[in-house]
Amino acid sequence: MNDFWPGVGVDLLSESDDGEGRRAGLERALRDAVRDGRLAPGTRLPATRRLAAEAGLSRNTVKAAYDQLVAEGYLTARQGSGTRVAALPSVTAEPPDARARAREPRFDLRPGSPDVGAFPAAAWLRALRRAIATAPSPAYDYGDPRGRVELRTALSRYLERARGVIAPPERIVVTSGSVQGLALLTRVLEGTRIAMEDPGLPFHRDVVRHNGGEVVPVPVDERGVCVRELGDAGAVVVTPAHQYPTGVTLHPARRRALTDWARTRGALIVEDDYDGEFRYDRQPVGALQGMAPGEVVYLGTASKTLGPALRLGWMVLPPHLVDAVADAKLHSDHHTESIGQLALTELIDSQAYDRHVRACRLRYRRRRDLLLDRLGTRRGVRGIAAGLHALVEVRDEEEAMARAEAEGLAVGRLGEHWHTPVEDAGTRPQGLVVGYGTPRERVYPDALDVLAKVLEGNGNRSDRRGGHH
């Protein structure tokens, strides 16, 4: 066994003399030395009497420090063997390829996030100050699980004028993002078969399953969700304004067919309106909920308009689900953080939210246009009329992803969005899901140049047709 190395001992004694308390200082110095390997496992520490004499401490102080570190597992003490350094669990080093995978990409064109650098910090700060200055005392107490009435009232007016949603305040439940809304609803619909778009977002399928729901796939084509394929599902989750990930908008005939299906079967439509405000070729398409407010649960969020960090979302519910969802919210986290709700209320009521959304729409449209310009007319790009992502068709998805990784470019892939994998990927459309919201303005053009380089030589299915789709 190793003996206590005198050099280390001198260092420890000097480290412990920093005014934090002599016992605490000795404990910290010994603990740090064990952690960083200066005191190797098995090293025998000096007797308490000897260390006390060298450090100018009382023996009781040294003994108390040793006892504390024995209790924490850094030292061991056995009769006749003295006090020794314990063998701590080793941290297994990652293999080189794992470290390479963990490296951040040079350019990030993955979908799912807005340009968080465009967060309206000054407007949010003003709204937050006004909210705090005018908030009643009960705002700092436990609140209504449905959310602050001020925000539900403001959302009622905003959603009606901006998205065509019929949203009385009493039918709104404020959530910590749309994912929580989906989770709460799944619990309330216990035992219901829930159809979800195929392809669709894998994480949302996981959320439904994690909360006890049974997921069944329903295919999506160039007109959106295939209503005739819904079978005996009791509910369906759809993204009608800008389907994720294909980008198609639900055709008017399909909208009517879907609401007729829900009325006829007594089923439920869950409308995920994750980026419905961002439409570039005309006014945003109104929410499906306005056609059938008694059959549609509307999920909205500030994650794409402001930023995911705020964790603010909302549900507009048919009357018969309000109490059950509010009760599920109560037993989940009681209620969403109140001061942020009041700040968003101020932002909406002052029209600052509308101004910010309009500015973002212009910014993202310029980004969309630059994407099309850089890729050229021979690239098959779908879903470009709205949202923050586009689907770029390719012939060989695996090769395109490999080229992207080699160039330090992160993009999404269509293949990971299918409900079930297939051995022959050629039997399904292949493509890259390109998000143009994430990159900062200064690096976005370079990211598109790299994307164009990645796609060179990996033609796409639309090359035979030409043009944008």
H or E stretch covering 269: strand 268-272
Report d(CA 110, CA 92) in Å as an integer.
Answer: 30
Over residues 223-263, the pLDDT tens digits come to: 999 999 999 999 999 999 999 999 999 999 999 999 999 99
The beta strand positions in 73-125, using DSSP E, are 75-78, 82-85, 107-109
Cα–Cα distance measured from residue 231 to residue 254, given in angstroms and rounded to the nearest whole number: 15
Structure confidence at residue 55 (pLDDT): 81
pLDDT of residue 13: 57
Alpha-carbon distance 316 to 165, whole Å? 8
Query: Contact, 278 vs 292, CB < 8 A?
Result: no
To 5 degrees, how large is the angle CA 7–CA 65–CA 88?
70
Handedness of CA 323, 153, 296, 183 (dihedral sign): negative
pLDDT tens profile 144-159: 999 999 999 999 999 9
For the chain, which domains are there? 6-85 (1.10.10.10), 107-113+356-464 (3.90.1150.10), 120-350 (3.40.640.10)
User: Does the N-terminal peptide bond of residue 111 adopt cis geometry, omega within 30 degrees of 0?
Assistant: no
The dihedrals phi and psi of 239, each to the nearest 5 degrees, come to -125, 75
Residues of the chain where predicted confidence (pLDDT) is lower than 70: 1-20, 90-103, 377-379, 422-426, 457-469
State the pLDDT at residue 88: 82
Rounded to two decimals, the pTM is: 0.78
Non-local CB neighbours of 317 within 8 Å, separated by 6+ positions:
171, 172, 173, 297, 325
